Amino acid sequence: PAPQPLVREVMTRALPEQPGKEALILTVEYPPGGADPVHRHDAHGFVYVLEGRIVMGVAGGKEVTLGPGEAFHEGPADLHT
């Protein structure tokens, strides 16, 4: 199994114009060799790399390797690989 990432909540805010929805900002630190299992969630995810490198991808799309200052989007219907 891959080493577990360190996840910290930065901010959560309700979205009043969309009852039951919220915006959530996290920092996620992956140790060397760290990974997430394939998953899906009902939300848009915006990934911004602060340091290091990470491989991101969604089913049917091309994997990309991101470095500092680069970003990636995961849609609510995407299967995150």
pLDDT at 57: 95
Beta bridge partners of 47: 72
pLDDT of 1? 79
Give per-residue pLDDT as tens, 57-75: 999 999 999 999 999 999 9
32-59 pLDDT, tens digit per residue, is 989 888 999 889 999 999 999 999 999 9
Q: Between vectors from CA 5 to CA 76 and to CA 57, what angle results, nearest 5°?
A: 40
If pLDDT is split at 50, 70 and 90, which confidence band does 76 have? very high
Determine the pLDDT at residue 58.
95
pTM exceeding 0.75: yes
The whole-angstrom distance between residue 27's C-alpha and the CA centroid of its chain comes to 9
Q: Per DSSP, what are the bridge partners of residue 39? A: 80
